[in-house]
Amino acid sequence: MSDFENYLAEDARLVILKELAAQPNASLNETILTKVLETFGYNKSREWVRTQMRKLAELGAVSITEAGTVLIATLRQPGLDHVKRRVFLDGVNQPSLDR
């Protein structure tokens, strides 16, 4: 993976965490997350989004459950701590100070 592709993936992971943090139940499914990422200019496949979700799960930032064939991500404390700038997770861009 090139440096630029790495940067894109790390930024997309931050977008996912921020969107989960904005939800009342801290959860969204892959279909909604794909649409959210499209809003930010990421025209990526569902499998690419799933890969980012799984990476966030490996980092402990989210938990993933399956509902049939759909993945659902739920924000965990390390992911919220990253969004709030309390700690920083490797593999996820740092949020800006204005959030």
Place 1 in a pLDDT band, splitting at 50, 70 and 90. confident
CATH T-level fold of 3-83:
Arc Repressor Mutant, subunit A (1.10.10)
Model pTM score: 0.95
User: For residue 74, with 0-12 CB atoms within 10 Å meaning exposed, 13-18 middle and 19 or more buried, which class applies?
Assistant: middle
**Does position 36 have pLDDT exceeding 80, yes or no?**
yes
The residue-averaged pLDDT of 35-54 equals 97
Query: Could you tell me how many helices (H) and strands (E) the chain has, helices first?
Result: 4, 3
Task: Categorize the per-residue pLDDT at 6 as very low, low, confident or very high, splitting at 50, 70 and 90.
Answer: very high
Strand partners of residue 27: 74
Name the one residue in this structure whose structure tokens are 């980012």: 52
Using one digit for the tens of pLDDT, what is the confidence trace for 58-84?
Answer: 999 999 999 999 999 999 999 999 999
- Name the one residue in this structure whose structure tokens are 């799960």: 57
Domain ranges for the chain: 3-83
